[in-house]
Amino acid sequence: MAQSYRKSKFRGIKRILASLVLLVIAIGICISWAAMTPMTSSNGVWIQIRVNAGDSRHKLATQLQSRGLIRSALLYERLVARRGKYQPGTYRFRTSERPLRIHERLTKGDFERIRVTIPEGFTLALIAKRLVRLGLISAEEDFLIPVEEHASDFVDGLPAGSSLEGYLYPDTYSIPLGFDVNAIIELMHTRQSKVLSELKVNRDPVKRHRLLTIASMIEREAVTDRDRPLVASVIENRLRKGMRLEIDATVQYALGKHVNRVMFSHLRVDSPYNTYRKRGLPPGPIANPGRKAIIAAANPASTPYFFYVLGLDRRNHVFTTTYKDHLTAIRKYRPKP
């Protein structure tokens, strides 16, 4: 009888222990589920967070929980303990991302990057507008103040009062979200410095400034490979003769706005950039030139041309030597307003 009782008691203890084991397993499964599953099963919403250098794992876990990216900061910390160091930067995550995937991106420095294309001939003002539109800066002034008022911090030997107009290379960039604006400027200028070095452009600041100024006018005036060295030759020929350049693109820049056609009234704008009124080169570039315009400025064609007018295809120009021939070309190729 006693033996039967002991067996029955032992079986009861075994059942209790088995139940406890099952309970622990169930709790473990729940904890693992809570720690490893995303907050939403669909695509979710985008959440942006900033990781600063020196942020602790606990601080980051708390931020992830408060922003709705993980269910529990405590469980997350346990899950990713001793799994790499976080890389500072700005990240964007969907609420549907798994915690381990979030952790993996944080340790690899997989920042959210924005693809930015700056076309040839963009001015600083147009670059600022594009950076705002893409969310890389909050206001145009964030970009314009350093490039206009602190240009000498980025480029040595700039003429006094010059901006960085012409010194930022037009290209496609992959820029991390939250990238400092000064770092964006430095990235674009460094790219230009590399191109100038590849083209073996003279490093003398005065000669470089002159080259980029001419290249910027070529960029805004010519759109074809044929025209660029020819426009460069007209600029050099006019400078050599002491003639005004009379380039429409400089008037556009002086006006500070785009007009579909430069009219006689526009030519009266009082600006050192108005080459219809001022002799010689403008004070600096009127846009940011690309590689082909820089090459043309450095290697102008040898021609007798002093004039050009846009042809009927609205792409290539008709070049002439005398003013009489120029007037004839205007009557033939320039439509009446």
- Name the CATH code of domain 46-108 (choices 1.25.40, 3.30.1490, 3.40.50, 1.10.10): 3.30.1490
Q: Alpha carbon of 191 to those of 44, 166, 194: distances in Å? A: 37, 12, 5
Q: Three-state secondary structure along 164-196? A: CCCCCCCCEEEEECCCCHHHHHHHHHHHHHHHH
- For the chain, percent helix, then strand, then coil, each to nearest 5? 50, 10, 40
Residue pointed to by tokens 């931020």? 63
The string of pLDDT tens digits covering residues 278-299 is: 999 999 999 999 999 999 999 9
Q: List the one residue out of 318, 105, 112 whose CA is nearest residue 231.
A: 318
The string of pLDDT tens digits covering residues 130-151 is: 999 988 888 999 999 999 999 9
Instruction: Locate 192 and state its tokens.
Output: 């230009």
10-residue block means of pLDDT along the chain (337 residues)?
57 65 56 56 76 86 89 83 79 86 86 90 96 91 95 92 96 88 94 95 92 97 96 98 95 82 78 94 97 97 96 91 94 76
Is there a contact between 104 and 82 (Cβ–Cβ < 8 Å)?
Answer: no
Give the DSSP letter string of 51-71. Answer: E-TT--HHHHHHHHHHTTS-S
How far is 15 from 35, CA to CA, in rounded Å? 30
Write down the domain spans for the chain: 46-108, 114-198, 223-333
Instruction: Give the predicted TM-score (pTM) of the model.
Output: 0.76
